[in-house]
Structure 1
Amino acid sequence: MPESDDALLITLDRESRTPLAVQLADALRAAAAAGQLRAGDRLPSTRTLASHLKVSRTVTAAAYDQLLAEGWIVGKHGSGTYVTTAPPGSSPVPADRSRADAPEQDVVSLELGRPWVGGLDRAAWRRAWRSAADSDPLVRHHPAGLPEYREAVAEHLLRHRGLTIRGGLATEAVLATGGTSAAVAELAVSVFRPGDTVAVEEPGYQRAVEALRAAGVQVLPAPLDRDGILVDQIPSGIRAVYCSPAHQYPLGSRLPAARRVALVERARREGWLIIEDDYDGELRYDVAPLPLLAALAPDVVVHLGTTSKILTPTLGAGWLVAPPEVAGTLLAYRERTGTGPAPAGQRVLVELARNGDLGRHLRRLRRELSERRVLVVETLRSAGIPVLGDDAGSHVVVLLPSVEKERAAVRQATRLGVRMDGLERHHTGPSRWHGVAVGYTACSRDQLISVLPPLIDLLTT
């Protein structure tokens, strides 16, 4: 609801024996019941409302105090008074699209792949957006991405992933994308052709699978063991293989060096591409990560990265480093279709990097998530629950003996107010791996601590 006084449409009966403050509180409840007030709406100040209703400010303050005591409005220092939830008996109001992604109250998310947005320095975040807005509006399309963004990404890859961009300026070798899923979708319609076959890790990232299938590309499963993709079991006759060697999604393993070499050798021998999804490669807590496949074999590797896991999906910004012929084909597609990633998020990342805020955030992120991972792993293992996954990323995996056990665990977690991912949904075909992924980034640390005991109970029953 806007702060407009007229929007309230409140009438007080001065002849009634019911105190005016009680009438006002009742009227505000009725406004919520009718859908006139919704959770998140800002109420007028007590002074403004008193002036509008032509009553003493004591009346409006008393009404607000009552509603604050009941818990359905809250005062925020320096900001105002807000509706937190509709009072009991309110009619349900259809959620508008702008609220569709808001987390429900009292639901703890242990979902896979969520970022730690609570760790963002909000002052730095606002500063970056303001600085980005100071740039002049664009007058032409930048199909490869903004040059300053591509330079910032090249510096980021060098500092945090050890990748030296070869073959010229960073603005010639790095392409902006809308994220890893968007990059796969673009590759599917520009580099690949309907009927081409791409092997994808099984279990693996199903959004990539669906992006490929939407373009008419056939997807074949590439099986894994606990160390990652089994190179000798990748199907023959493929156009490419999609994998996440730094931190396998969702099992969490790191592909050993010998397999990386074998994967590259087979790709060169059989003439296919390797799509390396480095979705959270910056999040490593034990030792330095192994070199990227893109550093080992830039001639056959398409490297993908994203800001969604280290910052937030709000930016819609990612990157791609590819062999020249692949990058050229993708750029030609963007030129023909007038498509490409939105520049707003690119500008914000440039400002975060320029001011050093990106580096500070990554240091803070690694420190916090490392501590959270230790908490989760030690708590589960002390209860006799084995944990799968490298010392990296934002989740661990607990294997279960059957898909039925997995489904039961997910259902029970939902009843407890906990969102958790099962491994079944990460398969293209029938489940080969059964268990749950326990994410530790989307919730607060207090929520994480409080939810671990009931989680242990449901995993051990």
Structure 2
Amino acid sequence: MAKPAGTAKPIGAARADTALPVRLDRVSGVPLAVQLADALRDAAANGHLRGGDRLPSTRALASRLGVSRTVTSAAYEQLHAEGWIAGRHGSGTYVTTSPPAGRPERRAVVEPEDSTPDLLELTLGQPWAEGLDRAAWRRAWRAAADAPPLSTAQRAGLPEYRAVVAEHLLRHRGLDTGADSVLATGGTTAAVVELANAMLRHGDLVAVEEPGYQRAVHAFRSAGVRVAPVAVDGEGLRPDALPPGVRAVYCSPAHQYPMGGRMSAARRVELVERARAGRFLLVEDDYDGELRFDVAPLPLLAALAPDVVAHLGTTSKILTPTLGAGWMVAPPAVTSVVLEYRDRTGTRPAPAGQRVLVELARHGDLGRHLRKLRRELSERRTMLTSALRAARIPVLGDDAGAHLVVPLPSAGAERELVAAGRERGILLDGLCRHFAGEPTAHGIAIGYSGCGRKALRDALDVLVELLGGAGAGTPLGAGGGSGPSAR
């Protein structure tokens, strides 16, 4: 472990020829007692001290180092608790053993970066967080803090939150369900993790959209579940391509992720019939179903077949990931095993974000934000698609959500365009990373909600130049018919 620079003051061990340097940095933010304990551990690890060596008394060591005895006593107490030293009555303090060689340094946790701060981020999954009314946001958090602390875990979620979600689903998604049928979750990915671990067994087969949401794919695989990618086209996932023996099918029928199409009514009926006949569960990820601009939000699979559908929703795309709040509406047998899983593991969704959503809904701020969000994203999409189509660059996907797709002729063109975008200060999202298997379609998925409107407008000329130069609009690679048709 690296030692802070400072003035070295040697201390003697049991043998007269042994001098142990200890450096204490008095301007460091690390407490002196912690520095001293670290130094003694290092001395044992590098051979300056060995088992059986006698240490100076706390008083003598404090005098030599010019520190208070409180510092040396605290360091010795820590090492004694860890088992590195022991006191012998009437004899002194001795080293009992040495730490393992090559101990790694303690380092701060560094999360992997998903983006570069200096780039304009036009990737998928970013909400319009800057559009939140800050006064309403602060009011909701203050009101949420007024609620008394919980004394027991609410495994299913706060009752008031479940009631708000039930009302939200009825108003904005057309799903008539009672609050008792709603489970709070930490978001759609967290819900997939719970479903994979609670109701599926190791080796079970789950069908997923291809291309699709790879965090869900990794959640299934981490639970030991086998994943079967199933192609999508302009009408969504193809039920006729489902492999035999699946236990569940994961899909995003209202706004396929990432291609942006909608599942047709005929496909929905066919998928439900297959689920009932095959006795498998449909996992409906409705990650941004509230964001439709051309017609009313599409009906949910859960409204069509509540007996075989687990509906998942989230606040991350319509509000902010800060809340860490989502929901699940599923058949009683499914919710029961999820609650049993939470009991066994001691897990539950955090209630703080639930309380904030309740307060946003209570004052009407949630509804006002959704109306403002739809207007803003609709205008952004129109601005973006108008610029692209004026340059004869086609756009894939429905008039909905917070992203669109531009097809490219090859994986090479996709890689080159993403690299060129970085050079021009724009972070773009290639389709290849959304495939669980070998990519069969290539293009750029452009997210338009995470940045400011002016920044998006200023980037239009660069986007048009880059996409036009990369051959945008030619067939979608080897599987050109797998994505939604250009609009």
The TM-score by the shorter chain falls in which range?
A: 0.7 to 0.9
SS at match of 1:375: helix
1:250 aligns with 2:258: yes
Distance of 1:263 and 1:102 partners within structure 2: 35
Distance of 1:460 and 1:335 partners within structure 2: 55
User: What is the Cα deviation at residue 455 of structure 1?
Assistant: 1.0
Cα deviation digits, residues 244-279 of structure 1 (max 9, x gap): 000000000011101100000011111111000000
Following superposition of structure 1 onto structure 2, how do residues 81-230 of structure 1 map, counting pairs within 5 Å? 106-165=118-177, 169-170=178-179, 172-230=180-238
Gaps of 5+ in 2: 1-28, 30-106, 470-487
8 A contact 1:223–1:234 mirrored in 2: no
Distance of 2:246 and 2:114 partners within structure 1: 41
8 A contact 2:187–2:324 mirrored in 1: yes
Which amino acid in the other structure matches residue 440 of structure 2?
A: R
8 A contact 1:424–1:431 mirrored in 2: yes
Q: How many residues align?
A: 364
User: What is the Cα deviation at residue 288 of structure 1?
Assistant: 1.2
Distance of 1:173 and 1:248 partners within structure 2: 25
Cα deviation digits, residues 284-303 of structure 1 (max 9, x gap): 00001331000000000000
8 A contact 2:162–2:183 mirrored in 1: yes
8 A contact 1:250–1:437 mirrored in 2: yes
User: What is the Cα deviation at residue 97 of structure 1?
Assistant: 6.2
8 A contact 1:257–1:290 mirrored in 2: no
Which amino acid in the other structure matches residue 356 of structure 2?
A: V
SS at match of 2:246: coil
Correspondence for 2:439: 431
Cα deviation digits, residues 378-397 of structure 1 (max 9, x gap): 11000010000100000000
Which amino acid in the other structure matches residue 269 of structure 2?
A: V
User: What is the Cα deviation at residue 122 of structure 1?
Assistant: 0.6
User: What is the Cα deviation at residue 241 of structure 1?
Assistant: 0.4
Cα deviation digits, residues 208-239 of structure 1 (max 9, x gap): 00000000000000111122111101111100
1:334 aligns with 2:339: no
Following superposition of structure 1 onto structure 2, how do residues 7-22 of structure 1 map, counting pairs within 5 Å? none
8 A contact 1:424–1:434 mirrored in 2: yes
Correspondence for 1:70: none
TM-score, normalised relative to structure 1: 0.77
8 A contact 2:291–2:297 mirrored in 1: no
Following superposition of structure 1 onto structure 2, how do residues 33-432 of structure 1 map, counting pairs within 5 Å? 106-165=118-177, 169-170=178-179, 172-432=180-440
Identity %: 64
8 A contact 1:119–1:365 mirrored in 2: yes
SS at match of 1:222: strand
SS at match of 2:272: helix
User: What is the Cα deviation at residue 96 of structure 1?
Assistant: 7.3
Which amino acid in the other structure matches residue 321 of structure 1?
A: V
Correspondence for 2:475: none
8 A contact 1:252–1:396 mirrored in 2: yes
Shift in alpha-carbon separation, 1:102–1:194, aligned structure 2, 3 A: closer
SS at match of 1:452: helix
4+ residue runs of structure 1 moved beyond 6 angstroms?
95-103
Which amino acid in the other structure matches residue 396 of structure 1?
A: L
Distance of 1:207 and 1:104 partners within structure 2: 21
Correspondence for 2:96: none
Distance of 1:386 and 1:125 partners within structure 2: 38
User: What is the Cα deviation at residue 102 of structure 1?
Assistant: 10
Which amino acid in the other structure matches residue 454 of structure 1?
A: V
Which amino acid in the other structure matches residue 238 of structure 2?
A: L
Which amino acid in the other structure matches residue 349 of structure 2?
A: P
Shift in alpha-carbon separation, 1:442–1:148, aligned structure 2, 3 A: same
User: What is the Cα deviation at residue 414 of structure 1?
Assistant: 1.1
Shift in alpha-carbon separation, 1:362–1:98, aligned structure 2, 3 A: farther
Cα deviation digits, residues 359-404 of structure 1 (max 9, x gap): 0000000000000000011110000100001000000000101111
SS at match of 1:239: strand
Gaps of 5+ in 1: 1-35, 37-94
Distance of 1:196 and 1:105 partners within structure 2: 41
Cα deviation digits, residues 123-156 of structure 1 (max 9, x gap): 1001100100010000000100000000000000
Give the CA RMSD over aligned residues. 1.7
